[in-house]
Amino acid sequence: MLAVERRSWPGPGAKERVIRERLGISPTRYYQLLNALLDDPRALAHDPVTVNRLRRIRDARRARR
């Protein structure tokens, strides 16, 4: 999942297509699992740059609500 998040995507729908084809889950389920993964210390140890970037994005979205 972190490898998917590390990539840049060429246009709308490309990431969702990869999520369905490569991971075999719906985008909704993917984002649920990703959100839980961001709170796992092992994910932070594995890829701190990506996890911290995604945490900042998540926190900013929560603050806007």
Number of H helices, E strands in the chain: 5, 0
User: CA 51, CA 24: separation in Å to the nearest integer?
Assistant: 22
Q: What integer pLDDT is reported at residue 63 of this predicted model?
A: 94
Query: pLDDT by residue (tens digit) across 16-62?
Result: 999 999 999 999 999 999 999 999 999 999 999 999 999 999 999 99
Q: Where are the domains of the chain?
A: 10-64
Model pTM? 0.86
Residue 43 CB contacts under 8 Å (≥ 6 apart), including other chains: 2, 37, 51
